Structure 1
């Protein structure tokens, strides 16, 4: 079974021009095993079959790597959940310093287990909300890249994620198939937060019929200090 999974992972990564070493593949499989073990205790993912975890979590996460320039050194994954896309990005490109942010302490404990078991360095899992961490000097406008996958609608994500990004850096939003309305409703949030959509890349998730979209937002000026608003406000009253 492992040899089949390794082949799927290698072939899927290859579609995005990513070459994985044997050691990196082993780390992914160890990650999968820890995910399945912990998923019996706490709800981390509805996807439980090995093949689906590899495709829908690991390969999907790797799809953003071609958009992360080599000179990007710091990434924050906002609302990381079970570590997607932050941990796969870290495994595949070890030079990136990764911060995983999640609002649930139990998930952070799981993330720390994955980090420890795979001996990953320059990666930390933090318990907290984007609205709280985004105003702190040690996090605000300190990252080259922020990313989020299936966390909230795009206007809300822009308020969560752009405050973390340096001017000239990027927010990479990972989305499903129907995004035209979300993009239309994001104009106000982009304008306020200092971002501009630079590219929208649609692709088929390898080995599936699922359409995915990656939205690349460049930050061209500082975010006003009153954003993000207090916890809960961005999702209750989006900037639309």
Structure 2
């Protein structure tokens, strides 16, 4: 274990997560695969090792502060990109059942390679638009936890993600700095989608000290039949009310 791995282990412990040597090895292999594949396709603009560990790995683990990830919970990560936060959470909580939805086939191939190399069981990588996948009975109103990281503004993001969450489940939107306007404009969509804002957790990255927010949304009932609308519509014409 080197200093970077030790740092992650220490920071995870402060989040209530105990990372074993094996899990730290998985994080390191993940990092190497990320850098290797990033030379062939655009996965991340962050490749420096310490920065990946802080801004991708640690940042992903903070979801554990907003959602119960114990037991065999089912988590759907929408627009996962390079696998954040889904894969760091899967490494830290091996019993989690993970479904990743991403619209780019090349990213799905990378994510499947990571799952194979890290020997991650209980992972499904789906190539498709969230609006289409959320219409499938096996994914609609099914997940205990739904996550999305820096995908879109909340008013549109709610419509992409909340249809995956079961009644009583939770959607955790990972956001950067000031959210005042986003939260205000998202109220109408929450009401339409049978959901409500529980809280906004304000965090800070340990080294960079940049601001992060976890928007925690409770799913209160089944998704109305009208939602999500056709692929592309939720982000082009978000539910904003009058």
Contact 1:72 / 1:145 at 8 angstroms: preserved in 2? Answer: no
**Structure 2 counterpart of 1:211:** 211
Deviations for 1:62-104, whole angstroms, at most 9, x for unmatched residues? 0001322125610000000000000000000011100011100
**Structure 2 counterpart of 1:150:** 150
When normalised by structure 2's length, the TM-score is 0.97
Structure 1, unmatched stretches of 5+, are none
Q: CA deviation at 1:125?
A: 1.1
**Structure 1 counterpart of 2:129:** 129
Q: CA deviation at 1:207?
A: 1.4
Contact 2:154 / 2:186 at 8 angstroms: preserved in 1? Answer: yes
Q: What does 1:60-139 correspond to in 2, within 5 Å? A: 60-69=59-68, 70-71=70-71, 73-139=73-139
**Structure 1 counterpart of 2:187:** 187
Secondary structure of 1:64's aligned partner:
helix
Contact 2:66 / 2:214 at 8 angstroms: preserved in 1? Answer: no
**Structure 2 counterpart of 1:24:** 23
Looking at structure 2, the residues matched to 95 and 71 of structure 1 have their Cα atoms a distance apart, in angstroms, of 7
Looking at structure 2, the residues matched to 227 and 58 of structure 1 have their Cα atoms a distance apart, in angstroms, of 32
Contact 1:177 / 1:213 at 8 angstroms: preserved in 2? Answer: yes
Q: CA deviation at 1:15?
A: 2.5
Q: CA deviation at 1:227?
A: 0.3
Contact 2:71 / 2:96 at 8 angstroms: preserved in 1? Answer: no
Secondary structure of 2:2's aligned partner:
helix
User: When the two structures are aligned, how many residues end up with a matched partner?
Assistant: 239
**Structure 2 counterpart of 1:8:** 7
Instruction: Please provide the CA RMSD for this pair.
Output: 1.0
Looking at structure 2, the residues matched to 8 and 111 of structure 1 have their Cα atoms a distance apart, in angstroms, of 25
